[in-house]
Structure 1
Amino acid sequence: MKIAMLAPIAWRTPPRHYGPWELVTSLLTEALVARGIDVTLFATKDSFTRGKLDGVVPGGYEETPEVDAKVWEYAHLAHLFEQADRFDLIHNQADFPAHAFSRLVDTPMVTTIHGFSSARILPMYKPFEDRVHYVAISDADRSPMLNYAATIHHGIRLDEFPFEPDGGEDLLFFGRMHPDKGAAEAIEVARATGRRLNLYGIIQDQGYFDREVAPFLSEQIVYHGPVGGEARLRALGKAQALLHLINFDEPFGLSVVEAMACGTPVIAIDRGSMPELITPETGLLVGSTGEAITALGQIHTIDRAACRARVAEHFSVEAMADNYIRLYERILSSG
């Protein structure tokens, strides 16, 4: 089986810090290669993989100033589709632009939908559902307007996330500085309870950060910026709870799974995929910031080992790869 894996080009694959789509693309690629599958990763030229790397884009457009996103995205797509006949299957991780090329080639195609943002994207999904096999990353993120081939949850490499049996007393926010992700709500919980809060993530909305986050920064409420490597792992594990007080229907929530892998329970707004990730044994689902403040008083009852066990059972990279391989085989066997 020869797979062409089409990565996004906002960031390097795998990303240095932020880049959830690129991260999942890398995790799946490496897991497939480990199983002996012939995978060519089409990504930025500074990406790396144990498979074959092919690409024309110098670097991610979010971190390489000379790269124009639209220009290089289409150069990236053309580079793959001009050689589509070399592959048994194309796995598109880079959203809907690839669909424009799908009827020009005979190679079967899978698209992982990394979050169904709104019905406005349907004109580049609905007309292609008889040509492209769509994968949802959670049941909650399925659009009733589309046909899907499967729901496949993201997975992580559990052995890369050290278990912390005692995370301490600090609270954690881990995500983009954007109204959707709930940094302001996490700050409200910390201020109401007198708890120290560590915030990590890129600033995606500078105005929001300046209004809702920056005025409250202090020795108690600390913004650390984006973080990677060992510092990222320490951040995920050295917390009593992750506050995931989202203001949108979260399609998946990779940081939720990563925190649980380290033993950190989660207090999350009950929206989107959160009920698929979080059980009463691993965290608390709430309806408001006020309920989150109350829930914090119960967080010590959560067994940190149970958090890690749930990830091991349901959200491992091995499980993700196995599910995709079954999908690939089903598509290829159907002719």
Structure 2
Amino acid sequence: MSRSPTVPVEKRIRALRIGVIASIAHRTPPRDYGPWEQVASTLTEGLVAQGHDVTLFATGDSITSAHLHAEAPSGYEEDPNIDAKVYEGLHIAAAFERADEFDVLSNQFDFLPLTYSRLVATPVVTTIHGFSSDRILPVYRAYDDVARYVAISDADRHPDLTYEATIYHGIDLASFTFRPDPGGYLLFLGRIHQDKGAHRAIEVARQSGLPLILAGIVQDQAYFRDQIQPHLGKPGVTYVGPVGPAERDTLLGGALALLHLIDFAEPFGLSVVEALATGTPVIAHPLGSLPELVRHCETGFLVADVPAAVAAVGMVQGLHRRDCRNDVEKRFTADRMVVDYADLFARVISTGRPR
């Protein structure tokens, strides 16, 4: 699939007025977990740095150099007093009531804003951060004629939808320290959920004879209780809970490898790119976007099962950690992502709202 061309910033015709609609599940940027909010933050800050006039629609405790419009004081996943439906309604309505102030709206908030998109003349560019289930597809199909969809990987493109571009997520390299020498542990970083494969990571570490650190929010309490907790307290398996940016950087850079043995088609996999940025190779199942992110036998290994993952652990020290970092510098930087979005916004504005 073709991607948006990267045009130097100095060739921009004019500054754009952009409204960015973030998720309000968490603060933007998130304190620990919150990949959608992280992408919205990285995009917003990058657009401001380019000289665009940006308004971020996010929670009231969000941190941004853009203009901030907030309806929800904090994220509904972080504050039990915040009713998700009530504040999502207020949040989205606020953005569209101000739509005529913007040249374009960047929807980083799933499918709900699409239901407002026919009511305004301002074009809406919707980044699809994966499909939580097939039940949400009717909304995307219903607005395919006017929506401007962005896929976050080629693997996540749905055949029923029309896309403007595939734009990979980008990260701020300054937040991830390259470490040429690995530590002696394996790392699992992500949601503690059956689909993410923490139990497989434990088995790989056990068979490899290496310690494992587990980090991330517990999303499935029953899974954590039955398949993860029994291993905690035993030698070699440590759960450190959710981690903030500094601890995340330290854990990623100190690992021998990141184990990403997922059981679903991963739309992107931000932690994979973050690991590579620190020089840490990734051992993953080749599902969803993973073959696009991990260069097999160069920046990690794509494996079919636990025995293959164990074998990969034995070979991972033969990889060059600098190659991992270099690949991120070429393909997954925040600067590249921001330029691609700015180019897309300019193109959408110049061609008009209907496709």
Q: What is the one-letter code of the residue matched to 1:293?
A: V
Q: Secondary structure at the match of 1:80?
A: helix
Residue from 135, 139, 164 that aligns with 1:124:
139
Task: Please give the residue correspondences for 1:148-297 in structure 2 after superposition, counting only pairs within 5 Å.
Answer: 148-217=163-232, 218-279=234-295, 280-297=297-314
Q: Distance in 1 between matches of 2:98 and 2:338?
A: 25
Name the structure 2 match of 1:97: 112
Q: Distance in 2 between matches of 1:148 and 1:258?
A: 26
Q: What is the one-letter code of the residue matched to 1:253?
A: G
- TM-superposed CA distance for 1:244, in Å, is 0.4
Q: What is the one-letter code of the residue matched to 2:218?
A: I
Q: Distance in 1 between matches of 2:211 and 2:131?
A: 34
- TM-superposed CA distance for 1:116, in Å, is 2.3
Q: Distance in 2 between matches of 1:292 and 1:229?
A: 27
- TM-superposed CA distance for 1:117, in Å, is 3.0
The runs of 5 or more residues in structure 1 that have no matched partner are none
Matched-pair contact (CA < 8 Å) for 1:4–1:39? yes
The TM-score, its normalising length taken from structure 2, stands at 0.93
Name the structure 1 match of 2:319: 302
Name the structure 1 match of 2:347: 330
- TM-superposed CA distance for 1:253, in Å, is 0.4
Name the structure 2 match of 1:15: 30
Matched-pair contact (CA < 8 Å) for 1:12–1:60? yes
- TM-superposed CA distance for 1:180, in Å, is 0.9
Name the structure 1 match of 2:68: 53
State the Cα RMSD in Å.
Answer: 0.8
Residue from 282, 306, 331 that aligns with 1:314:
331
Q: What is the one-letter code of the residue matched to 1:259?
A: A
- TM-superposed CA distance for 1:118, in Å, is 3.3
Q: Distance in 2 between matches of 1:205 and 1:37?
A: 40
Q: What is the one-letter code of the residue matched to 2:270?
A: L
Q: Secondary structure at the match of 1:135?
A: strand
Name the structure 1 match of 2:21: 6
Q: What is the one-letter code of the residue matched to 1:246?
A: I
Matched-pair contact (CA < 8 Å) for 1:116–1:142? no
Q: Distance in 2 between matches of 1:229 and 1:113?
A: 24
Q: Distance in 2 between matches of 1:67 and 1:181?
A: 28
The more displaced of 214-223 and 33-42 is: 214-223
Q: Distance in 1 between matches of 2:95 and 2:43?
A: 19
2:51 paired with 1:36: yes
Q: Distance in 2 between matches of 1:224 and 1:183?
A: 13
Q: Secondary structure at the match of 1:61?
A: coil
Q: Secondary structure at the match of 2:149?
A: strand
Q: Distance in 1 between matches of 2:133 and 2:153?
A: 15
Name the structure 1 match of 2:155: 140
Q: What is the one-letter code of the residue matched to 2:46?
A: A
Choose between structure 1 and 2 for higher RCO, CA contacts under 8 A separated by at least 6 residues: 2
The runs of 5 or more residues in structure 2 that have no matched partner are 1-15
Paired residues, number: 335
Identical pairs, percent: 56
Q: Distance in 2 between matches of 1:333 and 1:226?
A: 43
Q: What is the one-letter code of the residue matched to 2:260?
A: H
Q: Distance in 1 between matches of 2:348 and 2:162?
A: 15
Q: Secondary structure at the match of 1:103?
A: helix
- TM-superposed CA distance for 1:219, in Å, is 3.3
2:82 paired with 1:62: no
The more displaced of 4-13 and 290-299 is: 290-299
Q: Distance in 2 between matches of 1:55 and 1:188?
A: 44
- After superposition, give the CA deviation of every residue in 1:228-282 in whole Å (9 maximum; x if it has no partner): 0321110111100000000000000000000000000000001110010000210
User: Which 4+ runs in 1 deviate beyond 4 A?
Assistant: none
Matched-pair contact (CA < 8 Å) for 1:283–1:299? yes
Matched-pair contact (CA < 8 Å) for 1:116–1:143? no
Q: Distance in 1 between matches of 2:220 and 2:133?
A: 20
